Amino acid sequence: MNCANMEKLKSTTPNIINKTQMDITKAHPLIPCDLIISSSSWRTKVQSRLLCALAPLRGLSTYIIYLLLFPFQLYGQAPVTSLDSILSEIEQHHATLKAYELKAKSYAYSAESASSWMAPMVGGGTFMTPYPGQSVMDGRDKGSIMFQLEQSIPNPAKQKAKQRYIHSQGDIELAERLVILNDLKAQAKTIYYNWIIAEQRINLLQENDILMRKMKQVEEVRYTYSKTLLANVFKAEARIAENQNMLDMQKAEIAKSRAWLNALMNRPGNSPLNIDSSQVPRFVPATSLDTLALADKRKDISRMNAEIESMKMGIDAMKSESKPEFKIRFDHMSPLGSMMPQAYSAMAMVSIPIAPWSSKMYKSEAKAMEMNSLAMQEQRKAMLVESQGMLYGMQAEIRNMEKRILNMKEKIIPALQRAFDANFQAYSENRQELPAILSDWEALNMMKDNVLDEKQKLYQMIVSYEKELYR
């Protein structure tokens, strides 16, 4: 059979292996058949020839030989996780966000308790009883046994004002939760895009590794014919090792990013995770940056609005201290002498908070809270103006960075690539020495690396822009 059947084998091999997995599972239940065959690597000539050789085989033999030939394709990797999925996981499972939700609920329960009454007071004792050792002239002088019941009655208006104030504290916690969520999203985006840049650096370094190994092979051949110096072979070998070190650094960066993203999603740091490296950020400028639009978008402004509203509730609660409170008391006296009747006393009491010596406290406190509220409103205005100017500056900087990157990719790198290709062609024909090639390669490689640096800065700037807009 020739290689014309290779495409047919590509489509039928997964079905054959799936059927074989089922057969193995039936025959040997203890063997895990959760291996996943990747169909992404059918490109090299070696694989194509091996597939042609496998074409006459069927069933278990195909599966076993495929395992031996392509073990790196069979073991399934973690599914690709999009950025939106990661952000959703953070919002649902991050422990800090749950803490703010619980704090808001605690204020709701505290607000309910503000409408409760004080517990009644019950007492008992003696009333007008003479001290021991004194002579009693009449049975009426023996005094009485007294029982007392007392209940404070709060002012409903004061309770409602206090309840609204406590409940407003929960609104501040919920607004703060949104601010923290925005910070966590920005952190996750930064890590996600750094991962993408690290993968692009790995691709560049792998290309450099192939090129440097080819140069080393050429230098070794040329050295056998005394066409180059032995030092050039060692130089190429050193560049290969240096390139490998940089490759290891980028792999470590990916491992760190994976651990951090797992931590943000409240998962173990070593949980499998892969990202969609094609999901790069796109700059979308805001349609309007006036302060009214920013006030609606920014959650930190919403938090300040909640704090200002809470202060107003606090002022109302403080002013409600001018309202009176009530108390009732009932006393029952049972005389110790037979000549006195049983008696009682019923009293109703009301506080007078408008008295000058008591009203000073809540009036001064309410005035202080009003000043704090006005100060926070001024801070709110300043924050909006500052944010507006910052966003306009970010827009200009992002556009400038995009132009720089485009100029590097479309003009500088192609020119350096053509220069390198010309010298490399001469080098392949033994008309150029290795140091000159290395110089051109370093210039080209440095420019490609600069493009990745600029991309990373651009992505970070877009993340900061979106963070300011609370997207």
Based on the domain organization, do 359 and 387 belong to the same domain?
Answer: yes
**Residue 85 burial class via C-beta count within 10 angstroms: exposed 0-12, middle 13-18, buried 19 and up:** middle
The pLDDT score that the predictor gives to residue 77 is 61
Go through the chain and tell me how many residues it has: 471
Domain count for the chain, please give it: 2
pLDDT at residue number 319: 84
CA distance 37 to 72: 9
Q: Domain containing 445 — which CATH number?
A: 1.20.1600.10
User: Measured in Å, how far apart are the chain's first and last C-alpha atoms?
Assistant: 58
| pLDDT value of position 218 | 84
- pLDDT score of 69: 45
Whether 220 and 269 map to the same domain: the answer is yes
- Domain membership of residue 19 as a residue range: 3-76
- Domain identity same for 142 and 18: no
Helix (H) or strand (E) holding 206: helix 156-224
Residues 192 and 255 in one domain: yes
- Same domain? 59 vs 167: no
The whole-model pTM stands at 0.73
Q: What is the CA radius of gyration of the chain?
A: 40
Here the contacts of 446-454 (C-beta below 8 Å, separation 24 or greater) are 447/408, 447/412, 447/413, 447/416, 448/204, 448/413, 449/201, 449/204, 450/408, 451/405, 451/408, 451/409, 451/413, 452/197, 452/200, 452/201, 452/204, 454/401, 454/404, 454/405, 454/408
Of 76, 110, 138, the position where a domain reaches its end is 76
Residue 8 makes CB contacts below 8 A (sequence gap 6+) with none
Q: What is the mean pLDDT of each run of 10 residues along the chain (471 residues)?
A: 42 43 39 35 41 44 44 55 92 92 90 84 88 76 88 88 90 92 95 95 92 86 83 88 93 94 92 89 86 87 91 87 88 84 88 80 85 90 91 93 94 92 84 84 92 94 92 79
Domain's final residue, options 58, 76, 94? 76
Closest CA to 286 of 427, 395, 128: 395
Cα 322 to Cα 158: distance, rounded to the nearest angstrom: 9
- Phi/psi of residue 123, nearest 5 degrees: -140, 165
Domain stop point among 76, 101, 121: 76
- Mark whether 141 and 232 lie in a shared domain: yes
